A = this chain, B = another copy of it.
Amino acid sequence: MYSIGIDLGGTNIAAGITDSDGHIVYKASVPTGASRPREEIIDDIAALCRTLCRDAKVPFDSIRQVGIAVPGGVDAAAGEILFTPNIPFSGINIRDILSKKLDGKPVLLANDANAAALAEARAGAAKGAKNAVMITLGTGIGGGIVIDGKIYTGSNGLAAELGHFVIEKGGVPCGCGRRGCFEVYGSATALIRMTKEELDRCFMSGEATLMAESRKLNARVAFDAYRAGDAAAKRVIDKYIGYLASGIASLINIFQPEVFIIGGGVSNEKQFLLDLLRPLVDAEDFARDAAKRTRLVIATCGNDAGIIGAAMNE
C-alpha cells in the first residue's frame, strides 16, 4: 500500500506518494495561492492527490491514507486546524472536508515540525528509533517529539514547542510573549543577530574582521568566517554554540531519546556543527556515564520531511 503526504506551505503545496517504508515514489507541487478562499485551496489539494496517482500510475484505491503537514497548530484527534499564521485555514476541520473529496479516504493532520520529526524517525537520520526528538533551526525553532514511533502531540495538539522553554530568565524578548526562550538564542535568526551585534562592536572599535566583508548577513557568514580563522566569528560561534548546546542538553535530560535530530538551515553546517556541539552536550548530559546514550545527528530528509512525515503519520 501507498500513502500520500501533503506539505501545506505558505507558498507551495508539495505532495508525494510514499511506499510503506516512507520512500517517495513520486512527487509534485502546485502554488498555494494563500490569498484565495480556502475552499479553492482545498479543491487544489484534492485535485493534486488525484493527479499524483494518475501521473505516478498508482491506482487511487491503493492509497491507504492522506496525511497533511500543517504550518501551525492542529488538533489531530479532532481533525481540526487550530491556527495557521500564513494560510487561511484556522479553525476548520480539514480532515472531514478533504476526506469527503477523496472518496472517504482517511485524512490525518500533523504540525509540520512534528511531521518532520516523524519522517526522520521512520525514514531519515533516526530511522528505526522508537523515541526521537528533533529541533529545526530556522527563522524560529520548530520541535517534534516521536514516542513509541508516533508523534507526541500532548493533550491539545500543541505540544513540542521546543523553541519556547526559557534558557535565560528575563533574557531577549521572544515572539511568544516570554523572555529568554531557546528560540531567541538557538535559531538561525538568533545566530544572525549575534553576528550583527559582534560586527557592530567591531565597527565601533575599529577592529576589521573577515565577516565585515560579507554583504548580506545570513546564518552561514559566521560559520564561514570562523573556518577561515576570523577571531570575531569565533566569538559569535562560541556564544551561539554555547546556547544551542545548553538547550539540546536540557532536552536530552528531559527525554533521553534514542536519537536527537538537528534540522533546518543551521543544520547545513552538518559535521562541523556536530563537532562543535558534541563536547558541550556530552559534558551536560545527565546520562553522560550511561551505557546507552542519545545519538546527536543531522536531519537527512531535507525538504521532503513534511511529505514523508505526513504520509507516515498514524
Contacts and interface: CB of A to CB of B under 8 A. Distances in A.
Contact of A168 (B162, B168, B177, B290): B168
B246 A166 contact: yes
A154 interface: yes
B251 A156 contact: no
Contacts of A25: none
Interface string A225-252: 0000000000000000011001101110
A291 B166 contact: no
A292 interface: yes
B283 A164 contact: no
The A contact surface, by secondary structure, is loop
Contacts of A294: 155
B167 A167 contact: yes
B130 A155 contact: yes
A19 interface: no
A247 B75 CA distance: 25
A160 interface: yes
A66 to B, nearest CB: 25
B158 A287 contact: yes
A243 B170 CA distance: 10
A198 interface: no
B169 A243 contact: yes
Contacts of A159: 254-257
B177 A283 contact: yes
The quantity of this chain's copies bound in the complex is 2
Contacts of A283: 177
Contacts of A255: 154, 159
Interface in A124-176: 129-131, 143, 145, 147-148, 152-162, 164-169, 176
Given A176-B286, A249-B178, A152 B161 contact: no
Contacts of A164: 250, 253, 286
Nearest to A284: B178
A156 B256 contact: yes
Interface string A260-286: 000000000000000000000001101
A293 interface: yes
22 contacts: A73-B287, A131-B154, A147-B152, A155-B292, A155-B294, A156-B256, A156-B287, A156-B290, A156-B291, A156-B292, A158-B287, A158-B290, A159-B254, A159-B257, A161-B254, A162-B254, A165-B251, A167-B169, A168-B168, A169-B242, A251-B254, A254-B254
Query: 7 tightest CB-CB pairs across the interface, nearest first?
Result: A154-B256, A165-B250, A156-B292, A159-B256, A155-B258, A158-B287, A161-B253
